């Protein structure tokens, strides 16, 4: 709203931020193409003026269903498709339109999420396993855009997570009971070092489970892979091809376990005779490889997230508690 009491326009935003209207548009729709100081100036002007893009206001007036944005690394981690299924099939007291965003990097997601409250294109958002910057979290809260986190917690936002540390302990116990004594862990490389990832939490639980039984995990017996399967293969070679070959391996996901399985076969090592193997997620890959795995309630996390978000949209003053759901182990032939 301007000082004259009329709704702010893009020209008002451009004037306050001292940029062109094209730059305002880019800051909202293609934030990666705008220099960081300029982008922040535009967002601050939008916040001060309470600016709503005209096309957004029109589309919101015509909508009969709530519009939910879902942000996750869908193309990197197949398990998020099952979480999305939970969102799509959850019971809702109002029609819901779901728009899916495949997030490729933490930097990209931060810029997009910071601009969302200004765009007013969603009634609420679900953010799955995407590390938030403090700026993005503040923008969501101060912009009064209801948000629920999945597989990541904190920032003063409601969240649903699974008990990753317990999953690591279950994996340790499954390997120990096979009589193995040399253990290894294959995880994913940390995106933002300052945040604790599910991979880190599973490793913590794995170490704790081994320690309780009198074993230690050698620091050299931990490998971290990048996001692609080729990265996983290279990390698996570092583990399975080492001079001290592990006899029990815990992988952070079933996809990483598949990489260990493939590398072991190439090197002439049999599973489970030479290497006992435990994955995580209980995906179709686990069934195909007869893989012992930790089952987490993927679909239920999506269902919980949508119910919590709908409650926040209906009552912005509502306090949504965060929850942690339990995990379990599915024993198959790899152990």
CATH number at residue 277: 3.40.50.2300
**CATH number reported for the structural domain that contains residue 1 in this entry:** 1.10.260.40
Least-confidence region, from 62-71, 103-112, 211-220, 243-252: 103-112
pLDDT digits (tens, 9 = 90+) for 74-102: 777 778 888 999 998 887 777 888 888 88
Predicted confidence at residue 322, as pLDDT, reads 92
Determine the Cα–Cα distance for residues 261 and 249; give it in Å rounded to an integer: 10
Instruction: Name the more confident of 231 and 94.
Output: 231
Q: Is residue 246 part of a domain?
A: yes
Quick one: average pLDDT of 52-65?
Answer: 58
* Cα dihedral 245→247→252→254 (10° resolution): 110
Predicted confidence at residue 91, as pLDDT, reads 74
pLDDT digits (tens, 9 = 90+) for 236-255: 999 998 778 899 999 999 99
Predicted confidence at residue 325, as pLDDT, reads 95
Three-state DSSP class for residue 273: coil
Determine the Cα–Cα distance for residues 72 and 131; give it in Å rounded to an integer: 10
Instruction: Name the more confident of 105 and 144.
Output: 144
Rg, C-alpha atoms of the chain? 23
Structural domains counted in the chain = 2
Three-state DSSP class for residue 47: helix
Predicted confidence at residue 244, as pLDDT, reads 80
Predicted confidence at residue 58, as pLDDT, reads 45
Predicted confidence at residue 32, as pLDDT, reads 72
CA separation, residue 39 to residues 29, 54, 72, 130, 163 (Å): 11, 20, 23, 21, 38
Q: Is residue 326 part of a domain?
A: no
Q: Is residue 46 part of a domain?
A: yes
Predicted confidence at residue 95, as pLDDT, reads 83
Predicted confidence at residue 192, as pLDDT, reads 57
Give the structural domain span for 215.
Answer: 164-296
Predicted confidence at residue 2, as pLDDT, reads 57
Q: Is residue 94 part of a domain?
A: no
State the pLDDT confidence band at 259, using cuts at 50, 70 and 90. Answer: very high
Evaluate if residue 4 carries a pLDDT over 60.
no
Determine the Cα–Cα distance for residues 161 and 153; give it in Å rounded to an integer: 7
Evaluate if residue 164 carries a pLDDT over 90.
yes
Q: Is residue 183 part of a domain?
A: yes
Q: Is residue 121 part of a domain?
A: no
Q: Is residue 333 part of a domain?
A: no
Average pLDDT, the chain: 85
> Cβ contacts of residue 21 below 8 Å, gap of 6+?
10, 11, 13, 14
Which of 35-39, 148-152, 217-221, 291-295 is most confident?
Answer: 291-295
Predicted confidence at residue 64, as pLDDT, reads 63
Evaluate if residue 36 carries a pLDDT over 90.
no
Q: Is residue 113 part of a domain?
A: no
Evaluate if residue 277 carries a pLDDT over 80.
yes
């Amino acid at each position: 709203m301007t000082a004259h009491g009329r709704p702010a326009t893009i020209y008002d935003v451009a004037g306050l931020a001292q940029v062109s209207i094209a730059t305002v548009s880019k800051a909202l729709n293609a934030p990666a193409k705008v220099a960081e100081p300029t982008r922040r100036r535009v967002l601050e002007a939008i916040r001060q003026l309470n600016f709503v893009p005209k096309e957004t206001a029109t589309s919101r007036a015509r909508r009969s269903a709530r519009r939910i944005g879902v942000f996750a690394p869908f193309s990197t981690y197949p398990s998020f498709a099952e979480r999305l299924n939970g969102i799509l099939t959850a019971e809702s007291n109002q029609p819901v339109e779901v728009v899916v965003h495949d997030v490729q990097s933490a930097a990209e997601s931060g810029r997009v999420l910071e601009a969302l409250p200004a765009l007013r294109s969603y009634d609420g958002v679900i953010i799955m396993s995407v590390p938030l910057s403090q700026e993005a979290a503040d923008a969501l809260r101060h912009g009064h855009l209801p948000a629920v986190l999945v597989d990541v917690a904190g920032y003063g936002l409601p969240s649903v997570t699974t008990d990753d540390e317990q999953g690591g302990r279950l994996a340790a116990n499954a390997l120990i009971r096979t009589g193995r004594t040399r253990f290894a862990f294959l995880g994913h490389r940390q995106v933002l070092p300052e945040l604790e990832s599910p991979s880190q939490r599973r490793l913590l639980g794995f170490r704790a489970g081994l320690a309780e039984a009198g074993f230690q995990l050698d620091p050299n017996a931990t490998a971290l892979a990048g996001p692609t399967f080729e990265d996983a293969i290279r990390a698996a070679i570092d583990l399975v091809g080492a001079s001290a070959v592990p006899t029990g391996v815990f992988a952070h996901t079933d996809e990483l376990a598949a990489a260990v399985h493939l590398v072991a076969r190439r090197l002439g090592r049999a599973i489970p005779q030479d290497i006992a193997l435990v994955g995580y997620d209980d995906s179709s890959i686990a069934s195909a490889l007869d893989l012992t795995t930790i089952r987490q309630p993927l679909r239920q996390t999506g269902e919980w997230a949508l119910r919590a978000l709908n409650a926040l949209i209906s009552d912005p003053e509502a306090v949504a508690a965060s929850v942690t759901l339990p995990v379990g182990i599915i024993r198959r032939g790899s152990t």
